[in-house]
Structure formats: C-alpha cells, structure tokens
C-alpha cells in the first residue's frame, strides 16, 4: 500500500506542472480524500497500531516444503481480534489451512503458520493479510510481504522483490461458449481484479482490450465502467490459424501504468482455439493468487482522482499520465 500511495503522490506532483494552483490544490485534496476514503471504508489506518513480520523457515528450493510464519502484535497496551489470510501465488501449494477465522493477540507477539510446498521455479511474492479490530474499536487492515526466488538448485528470500520486473502474463479465465444464430463471430466478457482491502473482485474499468489472431491485431476496444468488453462482427484472417487471444493493457486516455522497465503492464488470456461462428465469452480476472492484482487497485484509484478533478473543477488533461 505504501507503493500505491507513492504512485498517487507522484501523479499529483505531475499535475502541478500542468494545472493552475487552484486546480492542483483540488487535486491534492482529491488524492488525500481517496486515501482517507480507503482507510475509513476499507479499514486502513493512517498509522497502524499493528506490527508484524512474515518469515520462511528456510530458502525453499523447487519441490521442497516448509513453513511460512506471520509474527504479529499490537503496538499499544491493548488487545485485538481479527481474521488472518495467507495468500499464495500459483506455483506454491498450501499443505495446511491458509485462513484463521478468529485470532486474538496483544502486545505479546503471536505467531500463525501455514505449511507450503514449492511446485515450480519462479519469483514468488508471499503475502499475509490481517483484518483486525482493537479493544477500543479501531479497525485496521494490514498486508505483510516476503519474496522467494527459487529453482531446483538454489533459493533466496528477501523482504523486497528480488528481480526488477516480474509479470504474470496469464489471467485466469473461464471458457463458457454461447453460440448465437448470427452468422458472425463475437467475443466479450468481464474484466476484474481482486481487491485485498475489500476482499472481493472489483471491475477493471476503462482498460484497453486487444483482440489478436496469431500475431495480427484484429480490433481494439475499452472496458466500460462495469468492466465489460465486447468485440462484434469479427472478420478473421483466412490465412492464419483460427486462434484468438484477449490482451489487456493497463492504459487509456487518463493514464498509462508502466512496469519498472517502462513497458506497459500487459496481461493475456489463454488461447481461444478452433474459433467458430457465434458468441465467445471470456471473463478474465487478476485473482487472489496473481501477484499483479495490485495494478488493478492503482488503476482504479488514479481514475477516481482524475474523475473528481474533471467533474468538480471542470478541467481535463491533454495527454495520459505515465505511472511507473
């Protein structure tokens, strides 16, 4: 979340160079309001009363098993109760329950653990989310992270990402096909991401969606405010294989979300093979196990701040914001 706030602040500073002083002040107010809104509605405090650390019993190599532990306590002389969830990415299998529905803790450190197995080489973000309320009624949500880079021969653990750019290009998708009587091809569906604070999926709104046949771009569209997208009346290249892919780019006329190597964050669906006439539905989601689901939150938050400026100040940027 600290990274998200830095991104929002960077976006605000960028605006200072292009808007008048009055507009910049409104924008700063909007950014702070967005953060405050997130804290109040999603139980995020300005200064946390919970302290915690995520650890692994060893630098696990591929095929090894171990224990992931969260040590946590309150900073003040009070008790707290809550729910703890360990979030594991694809490639790591839990060997014990990952959710602790009721946990009580205070200034004395408490530990909760989950047994895991490393199934495949990779660079994995490990996460524990603690949703709690203190004895004086103060609600908070905290996310703790640890990073594991592993292969069959060696492994390394760090509190920070061990590679500068790690991107999971596969969105988990459903494959429901709904043929229509029309004599054309249509592809559509819903785009979502998992919001860790709300603990539920949220729509990926106004993102660029590309429809690709083999290596040829057929059409481009954008998802609507509900996260829905649709391609209609498609004409495929007859010389190319009848294989389609949905490519989602974190970009629109408001902002462009880039990775540290300055590439636009891009996510792809599984191939849609043997395409025939009718309607093909593909619902794509950055699910709870996807390490890049936080890009959805950043994308949504900045758009909310932009919409505030546009509606309340009646001002609009002439080019998208680059967010890295």
In the chain, how many domains are there?
Answer: 2
Are 147 and 192 in a shared domain?
no
From the list 133, 132, 88, 89, the residue with the least C-alpha distance to 114 is 88
3-state helix, strand, coil in the chain (%, to 5): 15, 45, 40
Collapsing DSSP to helix, strand or coil, 34 comes out as helix
Q: Do β-strands 278-281 and 122-134 pair in parallel, antiparallel, or remain unpaired?
A: unpaired
- For 147, residues 6+ apart whose C-beta sits below 8 A from its C-beta are 123, 124, 125, 126, 157, 158, 159, 160, 161, 162
CB 34 within 8 A of CB 8: yes
Are 277 and 244 in a shared domain?
yes
CB 90 within 8 A of CB 142: no
Are 181 and 110 in a shared domain?
no
Are 55 and 108 in a shared domain?
yes
Does 179 map to a domain? yes
Distances (CA, A) of 167 to 183, 258, 284, 305, 321: 38, 11, 16, 26, 21
Does 224 map to a domain? yes
Per-residue pLDDT, 320: 58
Are 150 and 203 in a shared domain?
no
Spatial separation of the C-alpha atoms in residues 111 and 54, rounded to whole Å: 10
Does 34 map to a domain? no
Are 197 and 265 in a shared domain?
yes
Are 119 and 141 in a shared domain?
yes
Does 64 map to a domain? yes
Instruction: Quote the domain boundaries for residue 124.
Output: 50-158
Q: pLDDT tens for residues 149-162?
A: 998 889 999 887 76
Are 177 and 288 in a shared domain?
yes
Q: What is the CATH number of the domain that holds 117?
A: 2.60.40.10
Tens of each residue's pLDDT in the chain, 324 residues: 445 545 555 555 444 444 433 344 344 444 434 443 333 333 333 457 889 999 999 999 999 999 999 999 998 888 999 999 999 988 999 999 999 998 989 989 999 999 999 999 988 889 999 999 988 888 888 999 999 999 888 999 988 776 543 444 445 555 444 445 456 788 999 999 999 988 999 999 889 999 999 878 898 889 988 899 998 888 888 888 889 999 999 888 778 888 777 888 889 999 999 888 888 999 999 999 888 888 888 888 888 777 766 666 555 555 555 655
Does 255 map to a domain? yes
Does 6 map to a domain? no
Are 187 and 93 in a shared domain?
no
From the list 220, 230, 217, 218, the residue with the least C-alpha distance to 191 is 230
Half-sphere exposure of residue 51: CA atoms within 13 angstroms, side-chain side:
10
Domain termination site, one of 158, 191, 225 = 158
pTM: 0.63
Q: Do β-strands 278-281 and 185-195 pair in parallel, antiparallel, or remain unpaired?
A: parallel
Residue 44: alpha-carbon gap to chain centroid: 17
Are 262 and 184 in a shared domain?
yes
Spatial separation of the C-alpha atoms in residues 44 and 48, rounded to whole Å: 8
CB 148 within 8 A of CB 93: no
Are 223 and 138 in a shared domain?
no
Are 139 and 242 in a shared domain?
no
Does 309 map to a domain? no
Spatial separation of the C-alpha atoms in residues 143 and 304, rounded to whole Å: 23
Does 9 map to a domain? no
Domain termination site, one of 158, 182, 206 = 158
């Amino acid at each position: 979340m600290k990274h998200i706030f830095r991104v929002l602040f960077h976006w605000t500073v960028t605006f200072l160079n292009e808007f008048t002083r009055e507009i910049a002040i409104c924008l700063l107010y909007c950014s702070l309001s967005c953060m405050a809104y997130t804290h109040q509605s999603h139980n995020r405090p300005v200064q946390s009363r919970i302290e915690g650390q995520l650890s692994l019993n060893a630098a696990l190599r591929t095929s090894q098993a171990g224990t992931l532990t969260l040590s946590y306590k309150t900073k003040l002389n009070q008790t707290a109760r809550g729910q703890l969830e360990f979030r594991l990415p694809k490639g790591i299998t839990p060997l014990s329950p990952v959710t602790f529905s009721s946990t009580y803790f205070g200034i004395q450190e408490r530990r909760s653990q989950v047994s895991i197995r490393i199934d495949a080489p990779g660079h994995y973000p490990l996460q524990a989310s603690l949703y709690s309320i203190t004895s004086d009624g103060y609600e908070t949500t905290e996310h703790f992270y640890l990073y594991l880079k592993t292969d069959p021969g060696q492994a390394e653990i760090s509190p920070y990402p061990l590679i500068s750019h790690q991107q999971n290009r596969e969105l988990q998708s459903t494959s429901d096909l709904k043929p229509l009587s029309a004599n054309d091809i249509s592809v559509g569906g819903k785009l979502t991401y998992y919001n860790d604070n709300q603990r539920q999926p949220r729509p990926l709104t106004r993102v660029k969606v590309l429809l690709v046949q083999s290596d040829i771009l057929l059409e481009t569209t954008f998802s609507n405010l509900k996260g829905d997208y649709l391609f209609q009346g498609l004409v495929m290249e007859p010389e190319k294989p009848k294989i389609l892919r949905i490519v989602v780019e974190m970009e629109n006329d408001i902002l462009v979300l880039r990775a540290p190597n300055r590439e636009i964050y891009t996510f792809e669906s599984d191939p849609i093979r043997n395409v025939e006439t009718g309607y093909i539905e593909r619902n794509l989601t950055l699910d709870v196990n996807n390490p890049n689901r936080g890009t959805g939150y950043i994308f949504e938050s900045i758009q909310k701040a932009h919409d505030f400026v546009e509606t309340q100040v009646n001002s609009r940027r002439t080019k998208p914001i680059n967010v890295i």
